[in-house]
Structure 1
Amino acid sequence: MPLSSEPSAFADGRGVFIVRNAASGTAVVRADPAGTFSARLPAATIHELAEGEDLAEVVTRAMQSDEPPAVLGVYGGDGSVSRMAGLARQHERPLLVMPGGTFNHFARSAGLDDVDIAIDALQAGTTIDVSAIEAHADDGEPILALNAVSVGTYPELIDERDRRRASLGKWLGGIVAAWRTLRSAESLTVVREGRRARVWSVFVGIGRNDPQRVATMQRETLVEPTLDVRIHHARGTRLRAMASLAFGRRTAAVLRAVRLMPPRSDVERLVVADFAMTVRLEDGHPSVFVHDGELEEVAPGGFTLRCVAIPRAVTVFAPPREDSGVRR
């Protein structure tokens, strides 16, 4: 859908439908954005996502109303943002991303460090056409991912955390999950193009990323329609498998300095337009994969995962940066 050439088209929020996921970012203290919304986007429609409410149903109702929105917005974490991105693509609407989660990987990559920056981009009318990953597990519905898709140790960590979240909370549950995964993680078998391998993890990111990382959970480019795949072969210890999940530059650098990160010989890198593998699971392995921090359950016993790079998958409001592809 072409955007208006008038920078003030959405200045007061008219035609903007924002879903706020209050459950996002429970691991951090974050200012309530309600005052900012009312002050800067008084004409926008704000929907608070209730527990158990389906985001797709909320957006469908809005699109079927007498005055369907011209812009879809989301305040939440990476999972909420990627789900809304899929809906924005489906309904051919531009996306307003406002960081409200714990890590906000995609928002940070797009230069959207806070709600005000996102609203500035909306009111200025600056956008970028972002590439993404379309992932299929067996014959399931396609899922749009804005950062990465993964199998192995990281999904097991997320599965363990989510099972403990109700009783311990996200932060403490994450610590307990990391400890248990460190003690019990097992490698798994993947098959690609007839080649079988035992691996700790496979990360499929969008756009070329730092070649020294294994967990490419935060993208470095927004436009490049390329998959950057990291296959961590199971030649080292569980401790190295867990250390490889470090995605921050400083953390990864420290772990590398004390020789906890896996050596380069253990990590295979592929830069491709599409990627497919069959995951074969043994007893005790959860049949899951993760996309943008969201756990996806699939049929037990194993599955085939296919990922394709999609150019210009969704238009996102973002501040202009050099060589970012942002247009005014």
Structure 2
Amino acid sequence: MEPGTVSVPPAADGRGVLIVRNAQSGTAVIRSDPAALFTERLPEAVVRELGEGDDLDAIVEEAMERGAAAPAVLGVYGGDGSVSRMAQLARRYRRPLLVLPGGTFNHFAGSAGLTDVATAIDAFQAGTTIEVSAVEVTVADGTAILALNAVSVGAYPELIDERERHRPRLGKWLGGVVAAWHALRDAEPLIVVREGRRARVWSVFVGVGRNDPRRVATMQRAHLEEPVLDVRIHHARGTRLRAIASLAFGRRTAAVLRALRLMPPRSDVERLVVSDFELTVRPGPGHPSVFVHDGELEEEPGDEFTLRCVAVPRAVTVFVPPRPGR
């Protein structure tokens, strides 16, 4: 699918754009404040700060109730979690999404070619868009959650859960180091059930679109349009060290670990390319009952929970840079 253009070209000054800025995103990296860039290049945009305790849904809902003055474009400055939450709202209100990378990793923005805020504003002012596929995940009869990159259970969510326990005292990066140390020492497989079959696994990743078959942690998607789920089930046949090494999502890091033979062999990783996927998770003693979608941790009550993931084609319209030659 080639990039298209929005039906009504956006005003270059940002008129009709609501940007919600997540002040909690990207605090683990040094990044220049985008406020001056917003003022200079999008002076007519409405910029709202999302502080601790504020509700993104409520901010957008209030703005959308303004009739003719409702925003024509929904923008978000933040990380993958903030972007996915705004994508769900953009889909609900049938508005194009302006992604302004402001998180730690910015996986989705990177896949879309939005390397920084200036590039994202260039894409917006050019008016080039693409229809992005996504995954909807539900637990039992709960509300569906839209994710743009991946959903995961097992080692990665448990690592995030442990990191968040240490984050108030140690910060994100050092908390992550401590969490990784705990995982190397204490990680245990968990039980999953799919189509009546029981398995012991280190982790399961459900990514959007086909990805590198040599990877386990497909947290950054390779394609924006393809409406399929690329599932990686890492069976618990190897060591804890391989279980943690398999969570490497950077290409260079994964390549180094592969060269050192620390990544799990292909025989340990089951791959499925499907349009929907259902899995019952039985964490067992010592495991938190959690899953992660685009870096956002969700805790589920009870001894087990069932995840259902469904690929959603053309889920949301996103501004992207024009392709060369077009």
TM-score (norm 1): 0.96
- 2:59 corresponds to which letter in structure 1? V
Residue pair 1:12, 1:43 contacting (<8 A) in 2 also: yes
Instruction: Give the 5 Å matches for 1:52-67.
Output: 52-66=53-67, 67=69
2:41 is equivalent to residue 43 of structure 1: no
Are the structure 2 counterparts of residues 322 and 228 from structure 1 closer, same or farther at C-alpha, using a change threshold of 3 Å?
A: farther
Gapped runs of 5+ residues in structure 1? Answer: none
Which of 113, 123, 126 is the aligned partner of 2:125? 123
2:134 is equivalent to residue 132 of structure 1: yes
Gapped runs of 5+ residues in structure 2? Answer: none
**2:229 matched residue in structure 1:** 227
Pairwise CA distance, 1:32 = 0.2
**1:105 matched residue in structure 2:** 107
Which of 307, 310, 314 is the aligned partner of 2:309? 307
**1:83 matched residue in structure 2:** 85
Pairwise CA distance, 1:322 = 6.8
**Alpha-carbon separation, structure 1, partners of 2:52 and 2:44:** 25
CA RMSD in angstroms, aligned pairs only: 1.3
Equivalent position SS for 1:286: coil
Residue pair 2:160, 2:297 contacting (<8 A) in 1 also: yes
**Alpha-carbon separation, structure 1, partners of 2:61 and 2:285:** 40
Q: Cα deviations across residues 213-246 of structure 1 (Å, max 9, x unaligned)? A: 0000000000000000000000001110000000
- 1:88 corresponds to which letter in structure 2? A
Instruction: Give the 5 Å matches for 1:16-35.
Output: 16-35=17-36
Pairwise CA distance, 1:3 = 3.0
Q: Cα deviations across residues 17-76 of structure 1 (Å, max 9, x unaligned)? A: 000001101110000000000000000000000111111111111111241100000000
**Alpha-carbon separation, structure 2, partners of 1:138 and 1:243:** 31
- 1:55 corresponds to which letter in structure 2? L
Pairwise CA distance, 1:300 = 2.4
**1:297 matched residue in structure 2:** 299
Q: Cα deviations across residues 251-270 of structure 1 (Å, max 9, x unaligned)? A: 01110111110000000000
Equivalent position SS for 1:133: strand
Pairwise CA distance, 1:5 = 4.5
Bigger mean CA offset, 29-38 vs 49-58: 49-58
2:194 is equivalent to residue 196 of structure 1: no
Which of 139, 159, 162 is the aligned partner of 1:157? 159
**Alpha-carbon separation, structure 2, partners of 1:321 and 1:3:** 16
**Alpha-carbon separation, structure 1, partners of 2:186 and 2:302:** 19
Residue pair 1:10, 1:122 contacting (<8 A) in 2 also: no
Equivalent position SS for 1:25: coil
**Alpha-carbon separation, structure 2, partners of 1:10 and 1:275:** 41
**Alpha-carbon separation, structure 2, partners of 1:31 and 1:148:** 28
**2:216 matched residue in structure 1:** 214
Which of 3, 6, 12 is the aligned partner of 1:3? 6
Pairwise CA distance, 1:320 = 2.4
**Alpha-carbon separation, structure 2, partners of 1:40 and 1:307:** 39
Bigger mean CA offset, 137-146 vs 221-230: 137-146
Equivalent position SS for 2:171: helix
Pairwise CA distance, 1:321 = 2.9
Residue pair 2:77, 2:99 contacting (<8 A) in 1 also: yes
- 2:134 corresponds to which letter in structure 1? A
Aligned length, in residue pairs: 321
Residue pair 2:279, 2:308 contacting (<8 A) in 1 also: yes
Residue pair 1:286, 1:300 contacting (<8 A) in 2 also: no
**Alpha-carbon separation, structure 2, partners of 1:183 and 1:322:** 49
**1:68 matched residue in structure 2:** 70
Which of 179, 182, 197 is the aligned partner of 1:180? 182
Equivalent position SS for 1:199: strand
